[in-house]
Amino acid sequence: MQCPQCQQENPPQAKFCLECGSRLVLRCAQCGTELPTGAKFCLECGQPVGAQPAMPSRFVAPEAYTPRHLAEKILTARNDLEGERKQVTVLFADIKGSTELIEGLDPEEARRAAP
């Protein structure tokens, strides 16, 4: 396998370049999946190794960089993550001179100073 950094020829089983120490990883051009040495097609999307992606995109699909176990966990907990819409009322009151009073204080100290 030839190193993409320094062009050094390395044995097929090498994981790092013998010359420069760069990691020798074969990745699918379409989805970015790490492939075993000697693979002719991608394990995930079936793209031929060494071929250019079918549709070049400037955005990578989340499946390409999200570990499978994490994606499954997110999808199974989808209802818990969606949340709900609520209408709330927020009241903000400012006492004259209070800003100057707490201006230099740490947030916890400012909270203790409040009545």
Q: Give residue 99's pLDDT.
A: 81
Residue 66's closest CA among 26, 33, 27? 33
Global pTM? 0.32
Instruction: Report pLDDT for 51.
Output: 58
Tens of pLDDT, residue by residue over 36-71, are 767 888 888 888 887 555 555 556 677 777 888 888
Q: pLDDT tens digits for 9-39?
A: 888 778 788 888 887 777 888 888 888 767 8
Quick one: pLDDT at residue 59? 62
| CA 110 vs CA 53, 97, 107: distances in Å | 56, 13, 5
Please give the Cα distance from 47 to 37 (Å, whole number).
15
CB 2 within 8 A of CB 9: yes
